[in-house]
Each structure stands twice: as C-alpha cells, then as structure tokens.
Amino acid sequence: MTQSWRLPEGGAIDRSRPLAFDYDGTRYEGYAGDTLASALLANGVHLVARSFKYHRPRGIHSAGAEEPNALVQLARAARTEPNTRATVQELYDGIVAGSQNCWPSVRFDAGAIADAMSPILPAGFYYKTFMWPPTPKWWLKYERAIRRAAGMGRAPGVPDPDHYEHQYAHCDVLVIGGGPAGLAAARAAANAGARVIVCQQSPHFGGHLFGIDVGSIDDRPAADWVDGTIAELTERADVTLLSRTTAFGYYDDNLVGAIERLTDHLPSPPAHLPRQRMWMIRAKAVVLASGAIERGIAYANNDLPGTLLAGAALTYVKRYGVRLGTQAVVFANNDGAYGAALGLHEAGVRISAIVDVRQESQLGGALPARARATGLVLLPASVIARARGRLRVSSVDVVPRAGGAAKSFDCDVTAVSGGYSPAVHLFSQARGSLKYDPMTASFFPDASPWPIIPAGAVNGHFSLAEAIADGEAAGAAAVERAGLHITGSTPAPPTRRANPVAVEPFWAVASHHRRAKSFVDLQNDVTVADIALATREGYQAAEHLKRYTTLGMGTDQGKTSNVIGLALLGEQLGLSIPEVGTTTFRPPYTPVTLGAFPGHAQGPHVEPTRYTGMHAWHEEHGARLVNAGLWKRPHSYPRPGESEDAAANREAHNVRENVGIVDVSTLGKIELQGRDVPALLDRIYINRWDTLQIGRCRYGVMLREDGIVRDDGTTSRLDATHYLMTTTTANAVSIMQHIDRLLQIDWPELDVYATSVTEQWAAAALSGPKARKVLAQLVDIDVSNEAFPFLAVAACRARIANGDISARVFRISYSGELAYEIHVPSSQGRVVWEAVLDAGQAFGIMPYGTEAMNTLRVEKGHVVIGSEIDGRTTAADIGMEKLVNPTKWCIGKPLLTRPALNAPDRWQLVGLTAQRGAPMPRGAKLVADPDRATPNPTLGHVTSWCFSPNLDAWIALALLSGGRSRYGETLWAVSPLADAKVRVKVGPSCFIDPSGERLRG
C-alpha cells in the first residue's frame, strides 16, 4: 500500500493526479503538488541520506530551501543533478532520484565506520593527521583519498542537454518574496503607479500561508486575501509576477540576480523552453520580504531521521496532508512551535510531550494556552538530553534544566524549534549592517547605503496583520525611494513588538554523553564539541571558526545553523553574539546551476567573432583559420594533400621568389584630422613627425608612460590635415582609447579629431619582387620606383572585374620585400582581393596566411607585440634607440634615462640559427651549458621561431642578456617542456637583406 502516511484529506495537493516516482530503486506514489520530500514522507520514508563526514543516517529536516540533509541525486541521464534539495524539488511523474554519499545503500553504509572512528576525526583532523611525511607530495596523495571519501553527489558526465537564457529587466520596485508582506508591498507600490516585479522562490505565492490555514485578514481566510491580491496584481500590465524564481544575489546599484526555474518540475522538458532563465533586474528600490528561517537546538543525537524543524512538521501536515508519524515530541524555546504541536495533534499524531526550555511563568501566550486546553503534556523548564534510535528516532530522554532524573518519551517524530533567523542574506549583500536583538536572539536588518527596504518577518514582524502593515509601508517607502510621486501620506510601519514569539535564547543542551554527538551544522557534521575544540585551538574569529570546522559551508550555507554556531563561539569566549559578529553573506543565496551564468554565451557565442571583407574567399579556398583576438584569420592555404607547415613554407618561399598577397584587414586603423595632428604624433611616438610630407608615411613606436614599448605601426599623411594611423591588431582598441584620453583630458587644446576606421577598411598586402608588376596592372597611378618610392602613399582607382573603385595604396613592407598595402572599403575587400589575384596570375601569385607572414617577419627580424615586445622591452632592447628623437619630448621619454633601462646586461633582440636542424620552441631558455646543475643561469629566451624556407634553416628571434655583444657566440636553447636542447649561434636579428635593397628597389 502506498502513501500510507497520507492524511485522508487536506493539503494543497491534487489527489486526483497521482504521480509515480522512484527513490533508491523503490517505486512510490505521490500527488501533484507534492515535493519529493513530502511524497517520501507520505510513504513513511524519513531516512533519505547519509551525512557528509560521519555517514550518519539523516532524514528530511526542513520544508524549504534551507534544507541541510535531504540532498539527493536526480537521475535523468544527462540531466542528472547532484545535491538537489528534496524539499524544493517538485514531484513530477516518473522522477528517479536516490541518496548520495553512501555505499552500498542508505540503510547500510560502509562509510559509517567514520562515525565509529570519530574520536580521531575531530575538526581540522586532516590538518593534524596527514602532516607526515612533511612534504607536499604526500599531502597531495592524502588529499586525493580524502576528496574521494568526502564527495557530495556525482556531476553529470556528459554535456548539458538544456539551454539557459538571460533576461535583463528594469523596474521601479522589485519585491523579493511573495508572502503576505511582499504581496502587500507589491500592491502598495503598484497602486502608486510603480513598475513592479515580484520574485517568489516556490511555485506558489503566499509564503507560509500557502496551504496552511493560519488566521484571517479583514475577516476573510488568509488564503482568500492571497488569491485576491494575486488576481489584482495579475491584471496590472506594469506588474510582473515571477514564481519559481529565487533572487540569489544583490549587486551594486540595486542590481538583483534571480534565477527562474522553468522546466525543473516537468517530466519531459519541451526543447524550446530554456531550463532556467537568469534575470538581472535593475530596480530603483528593492523591498526585501524574504521571511525568516527556523533554526534548531543542539542536543545529543539531534540528527536522527524523524527529527525536523517544528515549522516544517506543520507544513508537511497542513500543506501536504502527511501524517509524519505516530507519536511526536516537540522541543521548543518559543511559542511558535506550539502551532506545530497542535497541527500534529489534529492530524492524529499523539503528542508525547512538549518539552519547553522556558519557565512555567513564560508559557502564558495564546498558543501554549491552547495546547494546554487541548490536553497536551507541557514540560516547562526541561530539555531533551539525548535522542535514541538507529535509523529513526525512537525515544528521547527529557531532563529538567535544574537537573534531575531523565524521563524517556517514546516518539518517532521530534519537532524542534530554536527560534527564527530573519533571512537577511540579501540585505547583508547590499552592504546593509545588521542589528542583533538579544531578546529574540536574531540579527535584523539595520541600515544599507542602497535603497533596500526590509518588510515582514525579515524585519521582525511575525504576525500576519503586522507583516501586511509593514509590507504596505515598505511598498510606499520603496516608491518614494524610486523617486516617484506619491499621492497621500505614506503609511508608517508598525512598531516592532518586542519578542513576538516569546523566544528565550537557547542553543545547545549540555551533553554528558561523550560519544553522543550534538550537531550544530547538520550538512557539514559540525558538533558542539567541534566548536569548543576550535575555540581552544585558537580559531576564535567567526571567519576562522567557519574555515576550520566548515560550519556554515556547503549547499545550505548554514541557513539553519549559523546563529547557533556564533552563539556557542560567543559562550566559549565569554562574548556576546554581536561581539562575535557574523561571517560574510555572499551570493548565491541558494545554489545556482553553472549553466545559467553563461546562458547562451557558450561555445562559439562566448565572444563575438570578427570577419574581414575577404573572409568568404578564404573559406572557399581552403584556408585553415586561426583566431587572432576576436578575428578569424587564414593561417595558411594548404593544397589537397599538403600539410599546413608545407603550405606555409611554400607561401613564404613564393613571396621571396615571386609575389604573394595576405589579408591584413585586422590592423587597427585610426583616422586623424586637424591642424595639430603632427603635434599629437610627436607627443605619442618616439620619432619625429612634423617633417612628414603629404603622400608619405612613416614607421613609429609608442611608449607607455614608464618608457616601455607599447605599440608600433605606420602613420600616413593623406592630405594637409588628414592622417591615417595603423596599430597592431591586438592594440587597436586600447590605442584608440589612449588617443581619446589624451585629446579629451590632457591636451584638449589640440585641434585633432580621431576615429577608429578598423571596420571600415579592408586591407591586403602585396609583397614580393614581382609586386610592382602586379600592382601596375591594377591601379591608375604610376607605381615606378621614382614616382612611388618606399614609404609613398597615394589615393587611386583600382580596376576590378566590372569597373573600378577608389583605393589607397601604401608602399610599406612587413615581409622585407618590395611590398604595397592596398586599402579599400570593407565591402569591396573581396572584389579587390580577387582582382589582385587575377592580375598576379601571370606572375605566380599565391595568397599567404599568418604563418608565412610570421616566417617572413622573423627572417627580417621584425618584432611583434606579445612576443618580442612583452611589456618589459625598451626601444633600445629591440635595436630602435636611434628612433628616439633627442630634440623633443614624448610620452615615456622622461623615464628612459633610468639606469636599469640602460644596463649593459639588458635582454636585447638577437637572431639565432640552429646549428643542427632542429626547432627552438618559443619560450626555450638560452643557457651557456645545458648540462650544468640547476640553478642554471638563464641568459635569455626564444621569442619567435620558424623554419626559414629561404635560408633552409631553423631560425629564431630571442631576447638575450647583452645580446648585441654576443654575435658569433654559441649557446644552447633548452626547453624541458618540449624536450628540446638545441645548439644555436647568435647573430643580428635580421637574416635577410639587412641593407633593405629589396624593399627599396
């Protein structure tokens, strides 16, 4: 018979819709509206898990997101999810779940040996136990074994089949929590004309009212008030109600992250729906109506299955119609728990006793009176000293606080309440300070620099009427904080009643049983004794205690345990709780699936992809593409059967022999216009610019303020006041930003206008001895060496397949050959590229990629940002000291005179040739003797390398200590990572045509 513990009637479940599910291999039945936890309890299953450290049997402890124990593995093939809280997982038909952290089964778990061994496993045991032999190597071995033993659940082994999306939203008032206070706040704000969003973490609005008949509002049942308010809010176009949505983090300026679960409750999620949607809500004001979380009391064996929070017991009885057991003991330090006692009693659970730590004189409240009138047994000034049982609680020993003989009470359910902790997490994340109220032993929100207004139980208003009044006041205050006009007067919040549930602070029952554990933090198996031990060992700050004992860590982040731990720490140290302080509340409030953070920004969508105007041609012609920043660039164009390396060598060789063309559209391009452009250039480049004539260009080097090389490139003077600067691909954005800063902040008096045109121009470099012959066929200007010499620039018309277009031609060479750059509007990139290839066909033209381009520049000794210019090199280090103009100031120049930047042992740019054919990998260290014992002094390192098809040798560029005085020396390039050890000869960095005859010819 299934659901034998289901009450015959009652509860917010749909008894007409039975759902089958599977837990630990057994088939059960529940109803629509159940959580996995309530369905298990309806079938009498309390034991659902084993604890993290000691593998002790554990049951369902709460009825909400704060659950420390009932973490289960949902098995849905690729959708398997560990650490799912059974208390919030909605039941769906066919759900398959199981317990974690136990083997072979939850009833018999071999890991429970840890419990027997617990005397040698105190807090911090692994720091003490695994200290020998004292080398990190051994600790790493131990750690692996400890991790294996300690794991919680299994991560999915295959890619996530679901997708997640992001939603940005803006509102005047964001209400976090859809209970009575939150709904009242939302209604007040909406009535004042505010745009409102309400987040409710469970599927239903109404908070603790949902499915639980507590009190009435305006002479109506509370549930009617909830339904009416929801109906009213639903009608408004400017109110968004989000259920199954947890506000998990508060970030600067009222940005709240919330996660909406769309398909986690569906048996077969439709493909079109995202599994979860991450909301980023920018609110002008926030109302925090997050309620309060009940906490327990520590006593020996307070972790036995069947032990749960009193409020949770009431929830299971009322909302889910589950009779939790046959007889119960209620253990409390406040009036609230009596509601649970009465609810259990009404459901037919025999109440063996209500054990209350308070004195008889304190039990005058309405609920204790009702319990007494009902005939329930009250034991004032008493505590549970110990619970007994193996896989479920079977009895508890009760002793008077004043001391005396223990009396045993049989029970299979123990409902415990140690008071209520306001859910201040998001308020604290909003840098809000907390105020400790010693009477109720709770931290309440105090003041935040941001407009976040607490309302309801989180603000200390526990009664229904007060919570609603407080919500209305908070809603109106939020509207005002949002800067909206309010008609009429803002209602004042109700006065906070002192100690509304008559709590007497009480944390732990002193234990006289050495082997019996009293748990503070159930999820992390932290006991009262652990806290005492940590305090003795010197971990006396709240944050230290947390790290040493793991108190308050894990998926529940100590929602039910933190305050108890802090109180016990305070008791040990003789300090009050506010003196001890809290640990920091950090996002997320409850665990958030990692997949929700990237959303759709996954795989190719992590970053934008940039394509040049010629990209389609590259793809059609077999280019192998590589990423260059966000750009896709051709690495090489392998022919059928040809390797990439062979292709790059062929392409590089062809440039030196015939002619090649390479796509250089990714270069940063900045247009500069104005009378004072030369003045700007003089200040940002090390060389001189006021002498640059129209129709000429010049190479320049920029420094950082500290004198280190920042970027290089050419700038051309297109007209009297019109210049075009090129930057490296990598620095295109940062140089634009740099120039904007200089012009806007430092030198606003300069008449210069700058704008990036990187995207607007496609560029191709045509290089090789036959480049001029190709270009002559293409353009309408005289390109002879006399008319268009090295570093000349001209605007022209370029002939394309059907007509001609305007273009710019620059005689610049990166390869060291006779070379030209042709710039055309991006949309014309492909037609011009094809026109060049057509014109070059008779001259053996081949396209070449970045790999051949790299080979050509290494042969020529040209430096690149990131390899040779590595954030440490000066102009002198790369042999460009002569470029520094002595007659003018420029950025970075004043600090160039520092001695360390001019030391003779500076690492300087040199060329290396391998003595026996072998590559010298980038990063290889240069040493004099490769076999010398370590530490072997490093003289430098390889920065770029290639096989030179034109020299038929492996060559490299390197930065070498005192490099220019070492020409002719023989050194070793060693790279243990690449298993390389190569004898190299040091020489100048330029291997080909050092006098520049080719590029000037």
Which one, 787 or 903, has the nearer CB to another protein? Answer: 903
Residue 707 CB, shortest distance to another protein, in Å, is 9
Of 497 and 898, CB closest to another protein = 898
The nearer residue to another protein, 24 or 172, going by C-beta atoms, is 172
Nearer Cβ to another protein (170/220): 170
| CB nearer another protein, residue 429 or residue 550 | 429
Cα-based angle 618, 621, 625 (whole degrees, multiple of 5)? 45
The amino acid sitting at 462 is F
What is the Cα–Cα distance from 671 to 715, expressed in whole angstroms?
10
Residue with token string 């390479």:
662
Q: Provide the minimum distance between the beta carbon of 745 and another protein in the complex, in angstroms, as a whole number.
A: 5
Cβ-based nearer residue to another protein, 691 or 744: 744
- 253 vs 979, beta carbon nearer another protein: 253
Please, which residues bridge with residue 726 across strands? 669
Burial 243-255 (b: 16+ CB within 10 A, else e): bbbbbbbbeeebb
In this complex, which beta carbon is closest to another protein, that of residue 252 or of residue 786?
252
Q: Nearest distance from residue 543's CB to another protein, in Å?
A: 19
Cβ 450 to another protein shortest distance, Å: 8
Give residue for tokens 């607007």: 760
Pick the closer one to another protein by CB: 897 or 995: 897
Q: Is the backbone peptide bond immediately before 221 cis, with ω within 30 degrees of 0?
A: no
The strand pair at 631-636 and 307-309 is best described as unpaired
Instruction: Name the pairing type of β-strands 276-288 and 452-454.
Output: parallel
The answer, yes or no, to whether the previous bond of 104 is cis (omega within 30 of 0) is yes
Six-digit token pair at 311? 């409020």
To another protein, the closest distance from the beta carbon of 11 in angstroms equals 42
Q: Which two tokens stand for residue 914?
A: 């391998």
Closest approach of another protein to the CB of residue 672, in Å: 15
Question: CB-based burial of residue 954 (10 Å sphere; 0-12 exposed, 13-18 middle, 19+ buried)?
Answer: buried
Quote the CA–CA distance of 46 and 23 in Å, as a whole number: 12
The amino acid at residue 530 is D
CA distances from 72 to 24, 83, 646, 901 (A): 10, 5, 56, 62
Nearer to another protein by Cβ, of 504 and 740: the residue is 740
Shortest Cβ distance from residue 518 to another protein (Å)? 40
Q: Are 845 and 661 in contact (CB under 8 A)?
A: yes
What's the half-sphere exposure (Cβ side, CA atoms, 13 Å) at 660? 28
Instruction: Judge if the upstream peptide bond of residue 269 is cis by omega within 30 degrees of 0.
Output: no
The answer to whether 596 and 634 have CB atoms below 8 angstroms apart is no
Quick one: DSSP state of residue 583? P
Single-letter amino acid, residue 742: L
- 450 versus 611: smaller Cβ distance to another protein: 450
Round to whole Å and give the CA distance between 388 and 228. Answer: 47
- Give Dmax (Cα) for the chain: 115
**Closest approach of Cβ 584 to another protein, in Å?**
15
For the bound state, the minimum distance from the C-beta of residue 686 to another protein, rounded and expressed in Å, comes to 14
By beta-carbon proximity to another protein, the closer residue of 253 and 620 is 253
Residue 756 phi/psi, 5-degree rounding, is: -80, 130
Q: How far is the CB of 254 from another protein (least distance, A)?
A: 8
Give the integer Cα–Cα distance in Å for 811 and 664.
14
- Number of C-alpha atoms within 13 angstroms, CB side, residue 330? 33
CA distance 444 to 498: 13
Direct distance between the N- and C-terminal alpha carbons of the chain, in angstroms, rounded to an integer: 98
In the β-sheet with 819-825, what is the strand arrangement from edge to edge? Answer: 793-800, 803-810, 819-825, 761-767, 659-663, 845-847
Least Cβ distance, residue 283 to another protein (angstroms): 11
Q: Closest CB to another protein among 122 and 588?
A: 588
Q: Which residues contact 643 (CB under 8 A, 6 or more apart)?
A: none
DSSP state of 35: B
Minimum distance from residue 682 beta carbon to another protein (Å): 12
Q: Indicate the residue among 321 and 892 with the shorter CB distance to another protein.
A: 892
**884-906 burial, b for 16+ CB within 10 Å, e for fewer?**
beeeeebbbbeebeeeebeeeeb
> Least distance in Å: CB of 899 to another protein?
11
Which of 759, 929 has the CB closer to another protein?
Answer: 759
Shortest Cβ distance from residue 718 to another protein (Å)? 22
Q: Give the residues lining the site for another protein (CB under 8 A).
A: 251-255, 282, 431, 449-450, 705-706, 733, 737, 740-741, 744-746, 748, 889, 894-895, 897-898
Q: Which is nearer to another protein, 596 or 864 (CB)?
A: 596
Shortest distance, position 431 Cβ to another protein, whole Å: 6
Smallest distance from another protein to CB 252, Å: 4
DSSP 44: T
